[in-house]
Amino acid sequence: MSTKSSAIWGSSSLAIAIFALSFAPILIRIIENDLGPYGTIFNRLWIASLALGLGKVVKLLWDKHSGRLSTTAKKPYTFQDFFYLFLLASSESAFLVTWAWSLTKTSVANSNLLHNTTPIFAAVGGWLLFSQSLNRRFIIGMILALGGTFVIGFQDFNLARDTLIGDSAALLSAFFDAGSLLIIEHLLVKFETSTILLWNFTLSSLLLLPCTLLFEDRLLPASFSVWFALIALGLFGSIIGLGALVYSLKQFSSSFVSLILLLEPIIAAFLAWLIFAEELSLLNGLMFIIVLSGIYLAQSDGELDNIGSTEAT
């Protein structure tokens, strides 16, 4: 694939990921009328795992029937591969659990504000582990984009002793989220996007099952509307959203992708305005402009020219 085509596919997948993931809060709001946060996450993951697994089986049977089944010997799994796949599922589960738990111990504003520090952890981790460059333009752009998200968050941010545990959990969720992106970036050197997703969804759902049974009154939803929202969340939010996000990591660094993800809560706010008639202020629009300006400044450091540096082999 040419550099130009890779840039187009990478940018398109990242745009799809942001749009698809922005619908997640809308669907979660519907689901949490019937299920708690752990139940929502668990059901989202096993539905995505089942759908993706069935899709891979159907594709395998179709390729075999049409004679297009690859005869190329695949590289066997090593102990290191299993270690990183389990580490990814553990990091993803820890991210989801700490974020969900933080919402029970602190305000939504505090949780979102502190979780938005993910790009900082991703940038530092990429610099330490993968020797990714952190030049002045990228750092200024990151600070500007983060500042844009903090503009809104600081309106309702509450620094109090009784929210310290929840605030710490939200900050910890940002650390685990960045860790997941960095691990995926490493795994893409060997594995396809669908393989990483299937392992991640399956192992994460198994790891989250004990938490769901322990902290939730109900494992499965009772109403058809919630089932519909869960299926939509699993297919659209997880398979399409996370799938496109993982694919984009073939082209862009985890620090840059995490920076782009700062657009997700902004788009979700606009969707909530359209669907739930939630209020949007002039400050929301200002934040959108500041974040976009920071992202533009960060990407203009040459990130879009580093295409294919982590292509899967």
Chain segment 7-41, per-residue pLDDT in tens: 677 788 888 988 888 887 778 878 878 888 888 88
pLDDT of residue 54 exceeding 90, the answer is yes
pLDDT value at position 107? 63
Q: How confident is the model at residue 312 (pLDDT cuts 50, 70, 90)?
A: very low
Amino acid at 63: D
Residue 215 structure tokens: 């902290």
Question: What is the pLDDT, as a whole number, of residue 304?
Answer: 45
Q: Output the 3-class SS for 104-133.
A: HHCCHHHHHHHHCCHHHHHHHHHHHHHCCC
pTM of the model: 0.79
More confident residue, 198 or 150: 198
pLDDT at 219 over 80: yes
Q: Is the pLDDT at 231 greater than 90, yes or no?
A: yes
Q: How far is CA 127 from the centre of its chain?
A: 20
Asked if the model's pLDDT at residue 217 lies above 80, the reply is yes
Residues 144 and 293: beta-carbon distance below 8 Å: yes
Token pair of 231, please? 């299926």
C-alpha–C-alpha distance, residues 193 and 195, integer Å: 6
More confident of the two residues 196 and 125: 196
pLDDT surpasses 80 at 258: yes
Q: Which residue has the higher pLDDT, 75 or 4?
A: 75
Cα dihedral sign for 301, 291, 260, 17?
negative
CA nearest neighbour of 260 among 119, 128, 162: 119
pLDDT confidence tier of residue 202, bands split at 50, 70 and 90: very high
**What contacts 52, CB < 8 A, 6 or more positions away?**
194, 197, 198, 201, 239
Taking residues 117-133, report their average pLDDT. Answer: 81
Average pLDDT estimate for 246-251: 86
Q: Per-residue confidence at 305, pLDDT binned at 50, 70, 90?
A: very low
Highest mean pLDDT among 96-110, 124-138, 151-165, 214-228: 214-228
- Give the residue among 39, 23, 100 at the shortest CA–CA distance from 226: 39
Structural tokens at position 282: 């002039």
Band of pLDDT at residue 176, cut at 50, 70 and 90 = very high
Of 163-172, 200-209, 246-255, 289-298, the one with minimum mean pLDDT is: 289-298
Q: Return d(Cα 107, Cα 112) in angstroms, integer.
A: 9
Positive/negative CA dihedral, 253, 2, 245, 283: positive
- 10 Å CB burial of residue 274 (0-12, 13-18, 19+) is exposed
The total of other beta-carbon atoms located within 10 Å of residue 289's CB is 10
How high is the mean pLDDT of the chain?
A: 79
Decide: 232 and 11 in contact? Cβ < 8 Å.
no
* Alpha carbon distances (Å) from 32 to 22, 28, 59, 156: 17, 6, 34, 23
The confidence score (pLDDT) of residue 91 equals: 94
In this predicted structure, the answer to whether residue 311 has a pLDDT above a threshold of 60 is no
- Find tokens 């390729």 and name the residue: 63
Q: How many CB atoms lie within 10 A of CB 232?
A: 18
What distances in angstroms separate CA 95 from CA 63, 90, 197, 312, one per listed residue? 36, 8, 16, 25
